[in-house]
Structure 1
Amino acid sequence: MSVRTLSQRALSRRTPSRPAPVRVGGTADILVAACLWGTTGTVRTFADGASNVSIAASRIVLGGSLLLALALVTARGGLFRLLSTPRDRTLVGLGAVAIAVYQAAFFVAVARTGVAVGTVVTIGSAPAFAGLLGALTRQARLTPRWLAATAGAVAGCAALVGGGESAGVEPIGVGLALLSGLAYAVYASVASAFITRGEDDRAVVGMLFGVAAIVLLPVLAMTGPGWMATPSGALIILYLGGVTTAGGYMLFARGLRTTPATTATTLTLAEPAVAAVLGVVVLDEQLGGLALAGLALLAASLLLLILPSRK
């Protein structure tokens, strides 16, 4: 069964005839989450002796376990309702696999092509993928304002990549970052499909990340979790799993209550801006004038998207 058919059926109980209005509270939640995610690539560089796959797996195992536990305490009924039909179970599986692919591909991409460029390509490509998925599944109508803001943001990301040669841009790393962006867009679309039809956002994010944690638990065991036993390793995984994953994705899910997935993924372009700044300031990655111009264009595009339109 196609993703389009699954998404259409999942939304059949509540499909708006017009794009949902963007609320300030929802955009603020998503922007805060994006800023938290922007710190992950830099924090990962301090995890000596840990492989990229081990970092990704440990982050999801801890964060997913916390999110699932929270859902069991606060939204147990909604949690089990997500497994009540075959199509919902299929969507849950699709979203969980997308989370696992997104995380693993992202950390490998960052290792191969640098924090700034890897993050920019991953999150910069996600809005375009999300827009295509939204159009294909008829979850959202692409407005001229969204198209202009996303085009400007993607162009800004392209300029940031073009000006980041000294940060170690590599074609394979860029390809993995694009794969990560596609997987992220799939996760955001699945989560949005559940939440906009009225499901509890805590249950949705708890179920998706809980299943992803189960999927990645054997991977974590095989990649050697011993690095987490050191004081620095414990602090790093607590931050990546507890703050950026559990906290960040809970904020993101809450923001999806009032923000369409296409808009939400464009708002997360704040993440590469934070990552680029941290890459330059903390890791001494070098970005030229073209890259800085790309950052400015990216910021302007985000403002175009989040500022309220005239009635």
Structure 2
Amino acid sequence: MSNDVFTPSRPAPGRTRFTTGPLPVLLASALWGTTGTAATYAPASAGALSIGAATMGFGGILLCLVAGRSALRVLRSAPVGLLLTGALSIAVYPLAFYSSMALAGVAVGTVVTLGSAPVFAAVVERVLDGVRLDGRWALAAAVTVGGGVLLITDGVQLGDAGGAVAGTLLGLLAGLSYAMYSWVAARILRGGRHGSRAVMGAMFGSAALVLLPVFAWTGGPLLSTGVGVAVTAYLAVVPMGLAYVLFGAGLRHTPVRVATTLSLLEPVVAALLGVFVVGERLGAMAWLGMAGIGIGLVLVLTRR
């Protein structure tokens, strides 16, 4: 049987269920956590829109090429409304996310985006799928989001009030976009007709049709130096191409609200890289916040 076709089966207990569901999502989140550090090496003149459009535009083309003909089968057979919703959500996400970080700061933009995504995902699943939310998920989400708030309040300077408000609103838009395209991908995957590479290739390849023109308009400074080209290649291949293949595989066996909660590992990885690679310093509240995120992730992973 081809790897591009997913045949629904009962998940195996214990280790197998973890390795096929939460583990790929956690690995993807860890790779996403490297984006902020990588972006610090981009030319100073490169704007947020160009970095976001390059990351998911070129990455989307890469995912589509890796999927090959299986992505075309998704485009031909999946509901048009679902595909359009997913592609437009993907196109909005990087533009809103990187602009949020540029206006409100990397830490604030990251945590607002990822902290709001589990809430949006839960609302989407409740409204569109009728999923009943339980108290354990609510506790895990509250602990992880609270940990994220502690992580960013320790010595973070918001700058001007207007930029902080605009950045926060854009972060919320990015969180909603992330939740929506995750839900669309999971919905198509659980139909059982297509594999994760095919679905991700079709969705992200379609989004690239919107993102690459944005890059053509804004991306000159990013490609003006060899370092900028290297940063673009890394962002497109690793935290975009590889990470979203892992994320799509994990979505087969992980509810969207749980997957988006697990993605809160990303700001922890970003903060640790900031300390040990970039040379930033974190105070006691930030370390306490990371511990809170860790506790929340454990609550999600140990649920029955």
Instruction: State whether TM-score is above 0.5.
Output: yes
Shift of 1:308: 5.4
2:35 to 40, 64, 70: 40
Question: Within 5 A, what are the aligned runs for 1:120-269?
Answer: 120-138=111-129, 140-166=131-157, 170-198=164-192, 199-269=194-264
Asked if 2 retains the 8 angstrom alpha-carbon contact of 1:120 and 1:161, the reply is: yes
Q: Which residue of 1 aligns with 2:50?
A: 54
Q: Deviation at 1:150?
A: 0.9
Q: Say if 1:54 and 1:36 are closer, same or farther in 2 by CA, change over 3 A.
A: same
1:193 & 1:275 partners in 2: Cα distance? 29
Is contact 2:58-2:212 (8 Å) kept? no
Cα distance, 1:224 vs structure 2: 3.2
C-alpha distance in structure 2 between counterparts of 1:293 and 1:166, whole Å: 19
Question: What is the number of residues matched between the two proteins?
Answer: 286
Compared CA separation, residues 297 and 168, structure 1 to 2 (3 A): farther
1:80 to 2:79 alignment = no
Q: Which residue is 2:13 aligned to?
A: none
CA apart distance, 1:219: 0.8
After superposition, the Cα gap between the structure-2 partners of 1:117 and 1:300, relative to the gap in structure 1 and judged at 3 Å, is: same
Counterpart in 2 of 1:104? 95
Q: Secondary structure at the match of 2:77?
A: coil
Gaps of at least 5 residues in structure 1 are 1-13, 17-21
Whichever residue aligns with residue 108 of structure 2, its letter is V
Q: Does 1:71 align with 2:64?
A: no
Output the CA distance in 1 between the equivalents of 2:259 and 2:53. 25
Runs (4+) of structure 1 exceeding 3 A deviation are: 81-85, 166-169, 280-288
Q: Distance in 1 between matches of 2:25 and 2:273?
A: 19
CA distance in 2, matches of 1:280, 1:119: 16
AA matched with 1:69: L
What is the CA deviation profile of residues 140-171 of structure 1, one whole-angstrom value per residue up to 9, with x for unaligned ones? 33222212111111111222233343475933
Q: What is aligned with 2:3?
A: none
- Residues 285 and 139 of structure 1, relative CA distance in 2, 3 Å threshold: farther
Judge conservation of contact 1:163–1:287 (CA < 8 Å) in 2.
yes
TM-score normalised by the chain length of structure 1: 0.85
Indicate the RMSD between aligned Cα atoms, in angstroms.
2.3
Give the deviation of 1:38 after TM superposition. Answer: 0.7
> Contact 1:92–1:208 at 8 Å: present in 2 too?
yes
Instruction: Give the conservation status (yes or no) of the 8 Å contact 1:166–1:285.
Output: no
Contact in 2 for aligned 1:108/1:176 (Cα 8 Å): yes
Deviation digits for residues 258-307 of structure 1 (CA, Å, limit 9, x no counterpart) = 11111110110100111122234444445433232221111111011112
Structure 2 gaps, min length 5: 1-7, 11-15
Distance in 2, matches of 1:148 and 1:154, equals 10
Distance 2:75 2:209 in 1: 17
1:113 aligns to 2:109 (yes or no):
no
